[in-house]
Structure 1
Amino acid sequence: MGGKVYAAGDADEAVRVINEIIGEKAKGKTCCAPILLPEGGAERRDVSLLIQTDLPFQGSNEKLLGEIDVGVTRADYAIAETGCVVELAYDDALRLVSSLSRIHIVVVEEATIMPTLQDLAQRIRELLTGKATKPTITLIGGPSRTSDIELKSVLGVHGPKEVLAVLVGEEGGSA
């Protein structure tokens, strides 16, 4: 649908790739939402503290989030058939990091890729059955696109102009 994918074999390589992207592309402030990645076995660590940022992720500070040039988030899932990434947000601030930034960098774990939209729907149904609190579910298919009355396509009017994915997993490797 649009965007670019970078490969990373593990959390450390993902941090390196993200910091390189920020170094190349950031023209303003950057913000990173919490990103928990596998550390080995069942252990996970928050790598957001290792990513170059100007603004701390502060759950409810929408004023600061509106100043983001580059936003970094973690996808909860991705869909192979469409190339979409999926965010489940219980806090609107998480959604704002991905939707208000000029450039959105999204970290996708290989293990979270679902083959089809139907597979994703089934997984989410299972995940949310019986839960009192429901998240906002956002499917991101690439940069924001819109057209004017003359059908001239414009990128980035209602969201990021650029969406970059960092795929983390065994199939990853140097980008």
Structure 2
Amino acid sequence: MVSSLVHRFKEKYESLAGHVHFVDDLSGAAEVVMMVLNEAVGDRLALGELPALLTGSIEERCRERGIEVLKPPYDNSHLPQSVDDSHVGVTHAAFAIAEAGSLIELTTNDATRLVSSLPRVHVGIVFEADLRETLKEAGPPLRTFFEKNPENATATFISGPSRTADIEMRLTLGVHGPEVAHTVIVGGSK
């Protein structure tokens, strides 16, 4: 059963032109990633810092289909081009905020941020247990992260696909980032 918090996040994220999927476990998350990659007609996938079990599950499925996988640690001599050449980027969100429909990625390696911002399609993975109702509830974990990593902390808020508007207020998706954005909410325990 989907909680009211998940429902609120889904409603807000989808109002921002994003797509939300709910799965029971990391295997289900890997299946959604492969479905999205298939829809994107992609043969190259970039992974951010994901739970090891998820990385392994995605890699196995990609190997079976002959899909190239880019994952950390990255060869910095080919960044950002190697990430940009990927059809889909998959990242893990530390948490999500329901009222804003936002995924929050925390990292100390700015190269991993490229995975959610350069490919045309982004898939963000978040555990249901990491959903927060309000931005105010996100303050303490953000503060803790920045205090522990004062030199190189990066927080990225992702609210659906990239959007921009011109002076005539015509909205365009995907100009400065992903054109399509998916969130996979993983239920159960981490």
Pair in the same fold by TM > 0.5: yes
Aligned position for 1:47: 54
Aligned position for 1:19: 34
Describe the superposition over 1:83-110 as per-residue Cα deviations: whole angstroms up to 9, x where unpaired: 1000112111210010001000110111
Give the number of equivalent residue pairs.
Answer: 163
Contact 1:75-1:108 at 8 Å conserved across structures: yes
Residue 55 of structure 1 deviates from its aligned partner by: 3.4
Contact 1:90-1:134 at 8 Å conserved across structures: yes
Residue 24 of structure 1 deviates from its aligned partner by: 2.1
Task: Output the aligned Cα RMSD.
Answer: 1.9
Q: Which has the larger share of strand?
A: 1
**Alignment match of 1:158 (pick from 153, 170, 176):** 176
Contact 2:40-2:87 at 8 Å conserved across structures: no
Q: Single out whichever of 124-133 and 18-27 deviates more from structure 2.
A: 124-133
SS at match of 2:70: coil
Residue 121 of structure 1 deviates from its aligned partner by: 1.2
TM normalised by structure 2 equals 0.78
Contact 1:34-1:46 at 8 Å conserved across structures: no
Aligned position for 1:169: 187
Distance 2:55 2:175 in 1: 27
Distance 1:170 1:47 in 2: 15
The residue identity in structure 1 corresponding to 2:136 is Q
Residue 130 of structure 1 deviates from its aligned partner by: 5.1
Contact 1:79-1:114 at 8 Å conserved across structures: yes
SS at match of 1:170: coil
Q: Which runs of 5+ in 2 are unaligned?
A: 1-15
Distance 1:14 1:55 in 2: 16
- 1:70-85 aligned at under 5 Å gives the runs 70-85=88-103
The residue identity in structure 2 corresponding to 1:35 is L
Q: Which has the larger share of helix?
A: 2
Distance 2:114 2:43 in 1: 16
Q: Which runs of 5+ in 1 are unaligned?
A: 37-44
Distance 2:102 2:150 in 1: 27
Is 1:122 aligned to residue 140 of structure 2? yes
The residue identity in structure 2 corresponding to 1:146 is T
Task: Determine what percentage of the aligned residue pairs are the same residue.
Answer: 34
Aligned position for 1:67: 85
Is 1:56 aligned to residue 70 of structure 2? yes
Aligned position for 2:12: none
SS at match of 1:68: coil
Distance 2:139 2:41 in 1: 35
Structure 1 residues 141 and 130: alpha-carbon distance in aligned structure 2, compared to 1, 3 A threshold: closer
Structure 1 residues 130 and 55: alpha-carbon distance in aligned structure 2, compared to 1, 3 A threshold: closer
